[in-house]
Amino acid sequence: MAAERAGEAGRAAVEGTAAPRDKRRGHAAIRNRQSASELPEALAGDLDGSFERLVRDFQDRLYAFALRLTGSPQDAEEVAQDAFVRAYRALCDYPPERIRSLALKPWLYQIALNVARNRVRGRRLAVVPLDGPDGRPRADPPDDERRRPEAAVERAERRDDLGALVAALPERYRAAVVLRHVEGLRYDELAAALGQPVGTVKANVHRGVRLLREALAEREWRDEGGR
């Protein structure tokens, strides 16, 4: 898992999206791999002294998760920030033995998910269901822009487009697809983060992927001139 993520950081750098800071991410990933099991122990023993490490180890992933949930960098920053603050306050209240036995990753994703849900509830429901009548999540980029030759730009654009499609998925599929395929959680971690049985989250992941595939296919068909 950690190794995979370090590889992704390298790919992101090649694509020119995260070049100045991919190094930090790589270090965090390596440190995380070495210490994934001892971090709860450290937090249980010295919460204030270890909390910064928890933020450093998980901030990229939690932010990416929030970005895919909300579809907006500003909302994602606030969601990730609130999630860490809530996590700290929860850890202050937990007895050490509970902290020691925490599966940090799904626990943090669960908190972020709740923060994002509460924000949506508190404001507007910005989510347009993909399979609804208004399936187009946003205006397509103009043709000349999409046909720019630079491969990196195209890949970045494709990712932005896909990100928009993901953000437009109905929430239960979106959370499941993002945790599984973007964040790379195992199904048992997914079940813990979402508070649902493994069978349910599996079904939601599959349904979500199918909705995405259909949306992509439909758009390709449209782009190729079909109407």
- Binding residue for other proteins (CB under 8 A) from 29, 39, 193, 212? 212
CB 193, min distance to other proteins, A: 15
Query: Residue 30 or 162: which CB sits closer to other proteins?
Result: 162
Compute, in degrees rounded to 10, the torsion defined by CA atoms 30, 33, 34, 39: 120
Rounded to whole angstroms, the Cα distance separating 117 from 127 reads: 11
Query: Residue 69 or 191: which CB sits closer to other proteins?
Result: 69
Which residues neighbour 164 within 8 Å (Cβ) at sequence distance 6 or greater? 71, 137, 138
CB 156, min distance to other proteins, A: 10
**Which region among 97-105, 106-114, 143-151, 202-210 touches other proteins (by CB under 8 A)?**
202-210
**How many positions of this chain bind other proteins (CB under 8 A)?**
56
Alpha carbon of 211 to those of 150, 173, 215, 218: distances in Å?
29, 9, 6, 11
**Which region among 3-11, 122-130, 134-142, 191-199 touches other proteins (by CB under 8 A)?**
3-11
Closest CA to 192 of 206, 174, 180: 180
Residue type, 141: P
Site mask for other proteins (CB under 8 A), range 46-85, x = bound: --x--xx--xx--xxxxxxx-xx----x---x--xx--xx
- Binding residue for other proteins (CB under 8 A) from 159, 188, 195, 199? 159
Alpha carbon of 119 to those of 2, 56, 133, 195: distances in Å?
30, 24, 25, 19
Rounded to whole angstroms, the Cα distance separating 205 from 178 reads: 9
End-to-end CA distance of the chain: 42
CB 124, min distance to other proteins, A: 22
The residues binding other proteins (CB under 8 A) are 4-5, 8-9, 11-12, 17-18, 21-22, 24-25, 48, 51-52, 55-56, 59-65, 67-68, 73, 77, 80-81, 84-85, 88-89, 158-159, 162-163, 166, 177-178, 181-184, 206, 209-210, 212-214, 216-218, 220-221
